[in-house]
């Protein structure tokens, strides 16, 4: 519900912050208190430097999403035949210059 509202309000990127803290999105999903349940409409998941023990959980969750070959906003380019391969990408709204 919050992710949908963020998009409605014009957010171009939606990030899940503190995903496994007690009030975080994935922790709230696990305990059943996230309004509306799971919504795949996010683009990024934070790796929280102040909680380094969560890094493995975050990376495992990302790997789970990656291997699901989902068609969500954040994973729209993933296909089952490409899972596990490196394929970084970026979007630049204007011409990039190497001049300093």
Range of the domain at 61: 2-75
Q: Has residue 99 got a pLDDT over 60?
A: yes
Residue 19 contacts residue 46 (beta carbons within 8 Å)? yes
**Does some domain include residue 15?**
yes
Q: Span 3-23, mean pLDDT?
A: 88
pLDDT given at position 51: 77
Interval 50-64 mean pLDDT:
83
Could you tell me if residue 65 is inside a domain?
yes
Q: What whole-number distance in Å separates Cα of residue 79 and Cα of residue 61?
A: 17
Residue 69 lies in a domain: yes
Q: What percent of the chain has pLDDT over 90?
A: 9
Tell me the pLDDT tens digit for each residue of 71-93. 444 444 444 444 444 444 555 56
Whether residue 82 is contained in a domain is answered as no
Does some domain include residue 98?
no
- Whether pTM > 0.75 for this model: the answer is no
The 10 Å Cβ neighbour count of residue 36 is 9
**Residue 95, in any domain of the structure:** no
Position 82 scores a pLDDT of: 45
The reply to whether 63 falls in a domain is yes
Residue, of 66 and 5, whose pLDDT is higher = 5
Greater model confidence, 99 or 32: 32
pLDDT, greater one: 52 or 45: 45
Total structural domains within the chain: 1
CB-based contacts of 2: which residues, under 8 Å, 6+ apart?
Answer: 35
Long-range contacts of 22-28 (CB under 8 A, 24+ apart): 26/57, 26/61
């Amino acid at each position: 519900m919050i992710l949908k509202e963020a998009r409605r309000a014009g957010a171009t990127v939606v990030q899940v912050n503190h995903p496994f803290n007690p009030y975080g999105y994935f922790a709230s999903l696990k305990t059943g208190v996230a309004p509306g349940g799971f919504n795949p409409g996010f683009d990024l998941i934070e790796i929280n430097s102040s909680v380094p023990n969560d890094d493995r959980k975050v990376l495992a969750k990302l790997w789970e999403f990656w291997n699901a070959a989902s068609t969500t906003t954040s994973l729209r380019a993933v296909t089952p035949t490409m899972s596990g391969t490196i394929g970084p990408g970026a979007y630049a709204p204007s011409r990039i210059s190497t001049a300093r």
